[in-house]
Amino acid sequence: MFKLTVAGDVYEFDGDRMLLAEAREIKKFTGMTIPKWSMGIDEMDPDAIQSLIYLAKKRAGESLRYSDLDSLDFADIELEPMDDEEAGEEPEAEQQAVDPTPLGESGTTPMPGTTDTSAPSPTTSSTPLATSTV
């Protein structure tokens, strides 16, 4: 997740989420694949940065052409990574484990011919049979 400030406007960009259409636009405008584009952002490559700004603005609902960004000044662009707390996400260590068993079910599977409310069979009891001594 990035915090991207462009000429005073702030955008949050989730780089873990990428539509194929967005990846195609990146390749069309920059010639870069997604791994090369990510590296280009880290290196502040102007083509990678311009396409990042373009996607962030589009995701924010702004309508623009890619060439509208040609006149941006690099000094008006700030890019900083955001940690999970800044992005409003729970850190992984604090996330609760979720039990996949639906509420009201024990998670056991009944044997064929039984239901989950069947009484145990007396022949399968774990109680030892009484023996007589003569």
Q: Are 106 and 116 in contact (CB under 8 A)?
A: yes
* pLDDT for res 91: 46
* pLDDT for res 93: 46
pTM of the predicted protein model: 0.62
Give 80's strand partners.
Answer: 3
Domain chopping of the chain, boundaries: 2-81
* pLDDT for res 51: 95
Q: In 3D, which of 21, 23, 22, 3 has the Cα closest to residue 13?
A: 3
Cα three-residue angle 26-30-34, rounded to 5 degrees:
50
* pLDDT for res 114: 55
Note the pLDDT tens digit of each residue in 16-50: 899 999 999 999 999 999 999 999 999 999 999 99
Rounded CA-CA distance 40/26 in Å is: 12
**pLDDT under 50: residue ranges of the chain:** 91-95
